[in-house]
Every structure is written in structure tokens, then in C-alpha cells.
Structure 1
Amino acid sequence: MNNLNDTLPDLMRRATEHLEPPSTDLVERGMRHGVTLRRRRIAVRGLTGATAVLATLGVIVGGTQVFGSGEPAGEAPAAGPATASAVAKVGAVTQKETLETLLALLPPDLKVGQEQTWGFPGFNGAAVVVDDGKGPSKLSIAVSADGQDGTCVDPQPGTCVRRPDGSLITVSAKEPTYGEGNPGGVVRNSVLVTRAGVGSISLISFNAAEEKGVDKSRAEPALSVTALTALADDQAWRFPAKQPIPSSNPAKPEPKSPGAGKPAVPVQQTLQTLRNVLPKGLTVTRPQTWGGGSEGHNGAAFVIDDGKGLSRIDAFLTYEQPVTKCGPEGIPNCRVRPDGSVVGWVKNEPVYADARQKVNGVVSSRVEIHYPDGRMISMTSYNGPQEKDARHTRPKPAFSTDQLLQMAGSKSWAFPGTK
């Protein structure tokens, strides 16, 4: 397992990710919005981890574990247990038992409701909404088998601290759910404790009844970092057993990509083709490319101005396993053309599904063409200069789906192989 810089964000967010709406399928396999755009987003932006703030919280890693800074006055410090690993119970713990343990450990004066459980082998999750009279506050818990999540190798200062009992702890206080000004004002306190040879436990307290898509319901989360640490260190928790590595037959090899052996296409060529297919008379700025070489995909973008406001236009080209029909689920429009190609399109689609949409108001129109030989091109037009992290600059995207399909269908596009 890698450093907790990589594992903590996954664990902390997994507790509530089951509440996120699934990404919409465009057509079977190849026409998923996430599939066609994920590599572009990763290449352009990269991934960021959660903010770890042990140093700023005044952590003492001697005989006592203290979280002082930012905690309510008069609250007792939380100490790591001296024999946590020795007495922890590991076995076939159910999701229901994890929820019941959480309920039993909560202060009796809290009003508790909206109980939930989820999980998979080696991982149990549960959540409740508590109210201490100051407003509802969601509380999530996750217990994991040893090595399933949270293991921290060579902990670094301010990221993961080893306590005297051998356990590792990472905390975050009042961490915003979103960047960009954090619309909705939802913040969270979180604690992750990994007990050597036993398992990991994470707890997250929000200042709202949900993590996302709502406004805050109180000034601060109901449970402080100190209170969450005390819960995590309680010996009542049972941890799922470590899962054996499957010994089944090896998975079937991935089918050969239709782009294998075909020459790569310089990304600057893709950028120039995008420029050539755009209508004349536009002000074209902010050229951008990604992919290229042996990546197997090319991306290019401009910001254009037709006199009605800035609008970003993207093109993404790759080879995929051929798509021959529209899937059972999909965005509003999809059809198979007489030449066997599959096209899909969506108009004025919000780029956010939460409170950020109200703030930025960016929408996009998008088209995709999937050819029988595996070539795929998607083009997206926004009503702003970028997909996210900026406000819209015009009521609608600059290009309609008909215009996007016409540009995407140009014979001048060269599709990148993986040779």
C-alpha cells in the first residue's frame, strides 16, 4: 500500500460516495461520458489528495495524543489506546453490527435518524444523521480489514503520525467539501486510525445532513476531531477479516485495441484540424492539447468568441472496442446511422450535479461518433471559458449539437493509434 496521501482521500470519500448518482451511459461500453472524458480530465488537471492538517491541530505524539487547536473550549484531549491492537476483535462482522456499534457509542443526548449501511468483503460502512439541538449533522463510519485501506508506509510529518501503541492516525478539521468558494458551506471533520495487524477505521462528521448537494445546516460539524478520535479508539469495534487473494483462473486477456499498430498522430495536428473545422469569423484563443505519442488518445481545445461571450470547445479522438448499438440506458439522444456508426448527443447538460451548478451555471452540449472500425470522436461546447472552476459567460454553448456533429464528422480528422 502506498503513502496515505493516496489512500486517505479514497477512504474518506468512500463513506458517502454510494449516495452519488451514477454516471450516465451514452451507449453500451464505449459511449459513457466518464469513459470518454476521464483521461482528458486526468491529463489536464491531475489528481489532488485530501488536506491533512495534523501539524496545525497541535498533535502531540508522546505518551498522550492531543488535538487542541480549533477544538471547543473545555473539551478533554483524546488519547490513543495503549493496547488497541492486542484487544481488537477481527472476524465476520456484519454491516448491521457496525451500525449498531456506532449507535451504542454515540452520546445519549443526540437525536439520531436516517440510518444507512453499505459495504463489500473486507469493508463495512454506515451512516446516521445526528442532531444536538443545533441542526442536523451527518456522521459516517467505515471499518476496513487489515491492509484493505489506510496503511501508511514511511509516514511523513503532517500526513500520518504513528502513536505509541503502533497505530497510525490522520485527521482533518473543517475541511471544505468543495473548492471554488465552497458553495453550500459544507465542511467536515475526519479521523482515520489504522491499527497495526488489525484494520482501519474512519469517521467523518459534516455540518449538514448530507455531504454534497445541500447547504450547511449548522455552523460546525456535530462531532469534533477529539470526539471522533475517541470513537475511533473505542475497543467495541470489530473489524472485517482480511480477504484472501482470489485463486481463480486468470482473467481473459483484454481484446486487442483496434488502434494497435496504427501510427500515432501529433497532437498539434489534432489542434490544427480543430481550428480548420471551426466556422470562420471567430476569435480563437487559449489553444490546449493533451494525450499524443503512445497515449492512444488525442485531445485539443480552444476558447472561441463569436461576439456573444467566451465558449470552450473540446475535441477528443481515440480507438475503442467497436460500439454497434445504443445501450439500454443513455443520454436523451442516440441512434445508429445507415453506415453503421453510432452517434449520441446531449444539449445544455449541467457540468455539476450539486450546489456548484447554481454558482457557476456552466452547461455543455456534447456529441460522440463511434465508427464500426473502432474510431471514436467526441466534441463538447461549453457556455463558458472552461468546463469547471469558472462562471458561465453566455446563456448557452456557442455550438449546437447539429454543428458539433457536422464538425466531428469531417473527413479531415486523423485518429491516433498506439504504435
Structure 2
Amino acid sequence: MSDARTTGTPATDEIVARYSARARAVLAGGTPDEGGDSCFGAAAYEDVDEVPEAALRASLGCGNPLAVAELHPGETVLDLGSGGGLDVLLSARRVGPAGTAYGLDASDDMLTLARANAAQAGAGNARFLHGHIDDIPLPDGSVDVVISNCVINLAADKARVLAEAFRVLRPGGRFGVSDIVAAPGLDAAGRAAAERRIGCAASTLTAEEYRRNLLAAGFTAVTITPTAGTGDGLQAAIVQAAKPASPPGTLIRPMRAGDAAEVLAIYQAGLDTGDASFETSAPAWDEFDRAKSPGQRYVAADAATGKVLGWIAATAVSDRCVYAGVVEHSVYVHPDHQGRGLASALLRAFIGSAEAAGIWTVQSGVFPENTASLRLHAGAGFRVVGTRERIGRHHGRWRDVVLIERRSPAIGD
């Protein structure tokens, strides 16, 4: 592993130089001088009998991401900061000749070592790329799984790294990394001292900061599981997440300000049906933006053109702290793209993100005439709480509203 970037910073250059020196030592047949590094190396791995010794000696990881990556034959996997290639070689073995294992590293020396290890192992499906983990040289939606071992914590711009990982994953793709996280109460000075002591961590995030960055990038189903303590308030952890699955040719991603016109047009088209809401006209974007919670906003977009085809967002039901985990959501799909499964995909992404953010109740009100919405939500685990009869006038007539909610089986149990 050897990649920190943003490009050309002194910290980045120092990290790349340190791991390049390690690679050169291994290439020369020696044992690297640890220089204070005390990560776990290859100790967390059990299936390394046929891996070149040089790949093991170059390893400076903090866990085994392959233990949770669940790689399958034929898949494409990308290792961020692949170093001497240990995880790439093990991944190549698991995905088989029909699959591909990519390794990305910023050190030319590490890439030389990794390619030599791949040749020795006969891993013809291993590919090694030179570059930085915040600017991945692969196309959108080109890999099934992103892994990494104690590298993302070294990056200067972690949000950008996670956004890049989200970009290159296919819909439904998986993110599984080992990394170092900091205890919540550790102050900046204590964190820096601990990072210097173990030697393979820098500007670490707490688990909650890591979670927020993953959710902001668009990931759902986020879990962070501590595995081993390194001392002084730092801890190794397995970090898992998923890119939302979506129908063929589409992509579910976070809603952006640039989506405003298309989001509001879809909103208005739904209101024009007369069965979506008591509202009759979509608000201006500023009003919409203020009303909707900043997290859990997604659009379904055409993967080729980027055109927004549908959206989902939520509003907090109260500013009282006791209701912090309760939101009311709305989901709309353009009339020309209904029946493609977009609403279901948006709802699944929303629920996965909401649970990862600690939201325990998602609720909404639906006109009883909107049977398609009631079926959609029943399929996603919502139950009918009751009906508010003649609660309001809409287009000159009194309307009932069916109250529905979904209680998380994992949060607030």
C-alpha cells in the first residue's frame, strides 16, 4: 500500500517515498526496516501458502478485507493502494480466470514489485495501475468490488476518495476495506501522536466521521466493525458499504443542486396527477432544499445521459430531539419512466441509507386512490397505521389520507 494524495503535498510525497523504500528493500531480497511501523502486515491472512514471499514481506495492512469482500468467480475487483500486490493476488485467485483483479498504487517501486509477484504467482488476471486513489484511472461503473487495506486513512481528501470508489462501482457494487479509525474522544494532538507511533496511519477519522463520508458519497448499508486495537485510541476496523442497485441503464446517486430543474419538473408532473399530494405546485428550489433533510436525498438517473428520471427525499417530522430518528419521505418518478422499478430501487436505497444514519421510523401519508404507491410501500415493509378521514380539501373535495410507516428492525429495537 502506498497512496495518500492530494497530489504533490509534502505528506503525500513522504508516504510514497516511505513505501517505495520498502518495496526496493523487498526487491533487493532484504527485510524492510519497519522504522516504527507496527501495523499487522500479513498476520490477518490464512490462505497465503501459494503467495510469493515478497508480497508477504511488503504487506503493511491492518486487517484482511477479503474476509468480508465475498468475491465471486467472474467479478472485477479493485484494490486501492495495492502495494506489493498481496490482496490483488488473493483476489485474482478468488475471481478466477473469468474475473479481473486491479491494483492501484502511486509508487512505481511498489508496482514493479507487485508485477513481479503476479508473474511469479502466475496470476494472469491481475492488472496493476499507476495512479492515486482520489483520481482512479478506470471508467464509471467498471468494477464489482472495491477493497483496500489500511490506505484510505492516509488520504488527504477522504471524501474525494470515497466519491471515486462510488463512481467506479457498478450499481449494486460492494465496498469492503480494512482501515484505522480513531476513538471519538481522542483530541487532535493525541490522534497525531498515536498515528506517529504506529507509523501506518494519518489524519484518521472516527467511525462516525467515516460513516458520514460514505453516506455523503452515496453509499448505503454502511457498517463499521472494530477488529483490533492498536493502542492510544486508534483501532483497526472493517468498513463495509454498498452502492445502491438500480434497473439496467440507470444509476442511483445523491441528489445535487444541479438536478434542481429536473427534480422539480418531476415533482410537478406528479402533482398534476391529482393523487400525489395536497400540494398543487412544486416549490422553488431554495424552499425545497431548506425543507428536505440534507442526507438521504437520491435521484435515479439515466446512466448514459445523466438525465434525472426520479427522486426520493425526506423531511424531519419535528425538531425535538426525541424525534431525531423519524422522517417523512416522498418518492416521485417521471411519468415516462414508471413501471421500470425505479421507485422500488429509490426506496431501497433510501431505507439502507436511513438505517445507516440511525433513522428508526420512515413515514408518509398517501391518498387511498394512489394504489400504486400503497403497493410499492407494502412491498418495502411499510404498514398501514390508520386513515385520517376527510383531513383536507383538494381540488374542491375532501380527501382521506392513509398513514403508513416503516419501523427499522435494526435501529431503535
Question: Normalising by the residue count of structure 2, what TM-score does the alignment of the two structures yield?
Answer: 0.30
**Structure number with higher relative contact order (C-alpha < 8 Å, ≥ 6 residues apart):** 1
Question: Normalising by the residue count of structure 1, what TM-score does the alignment of the two structures yield?
Answer: 0.30
More helix by share: 2
- Which structure is larger by alpha-carbon Rg, 1 or 2? 1
